[in-house]
Amino acid sequence: MLSESLKQIFIRDLNKLKDEINAYSNEDSVWIIKDHIANSAGNLCLHLVGNINHFIGDQIGQTGYVRHRELEFSSKGIPKAALIQKIEETIQVVDTVLDHITTEQFAAEFPIQVFGFPMSTEYFLIHLATHLSYHLGQINYHRRLLDQ
């Protein structure tokens, strides 16, 4: 079923996000912004956690999560251990919510129009998985480029 496949992809990539954050040899490097790099790995991590908790947790799972998107990009210096904890909590949200999503929910219109037009929940969840993968690649590149 689609929910199991999406759950496996989200959990795989969130675990890879944990690996990437843990792989920084210098904790301060997680927060470096240099040259033409617009976002640090720490800020991208916060953005991914906020994004998934908002759209999967709150919008689909009704968790009550309140997103503070501006803080995802302005917060600095959060320890790696705290980032890892946020990722682990996000994995639990994904696991719980996607375990309970129905075929009807996948086919239904996503509760909010994120891009200015209606889309199915299925479509938007696929978008969220590719969004996670995109930023995960940026974090991997950031780490390899700046963590010296």
Give the tens place of pLDDT for each residue, 98-116. Answer: 999 999 999 999 999 999 9
**Helix intervals (H) in 2-120:** 2-23, 41-52, 69-74, 80-100, 103-107
Q: Give the residue extent of every domain in the chain.
A: 2-146
pLDDT at 1 over 90: no
> What is the residue whose two structure tokens read 């843990």?
22
| The pLDDT value given to residue 147 | 74
| The pLDDT value given to residue 37 | 86
Q: Which CATH superfamily is 2-146 part of?
A: dinb family like domain (1.20.120.450)
| The pLDDT value given to residue 122 | 97
Give the chain's mean pLDDT: 96
Give the tens place of pLDDT for each residue, 17-68. Answer: 999 999 999 999 999 998 888 899 999 999 999 999 999 999 999 999 999 9
| The pLDDT value given to residue 6 | 97
Nearest CA among 126, 59, 66, 54 for reference residue 90: 54
Estimate the crossing angle of helix 2-23 against helix 41-52, to 10 degrees: 160
- In angstroms, the CA 118 to CA 97 distance is 21
Percent of the chain with pLDDT over 90: 93
| The pLDDT value given to residue 148 | 66
- In angstroms, the CA 105 to CA 47 distance is 25
| The pLDDT value given to residue 98 | 97
> What is the residue whose two structure tokens read 């989200």?
10
Encoding tokens for residue 131?
Answer: 């969004």
Burial of 120 (0-12, 13-18, 19+ CB in 10 A): middle
Helix (H, G, I), strand (E, B) or coil at 109: strand
What one-letter code names the amino acid at 120? S
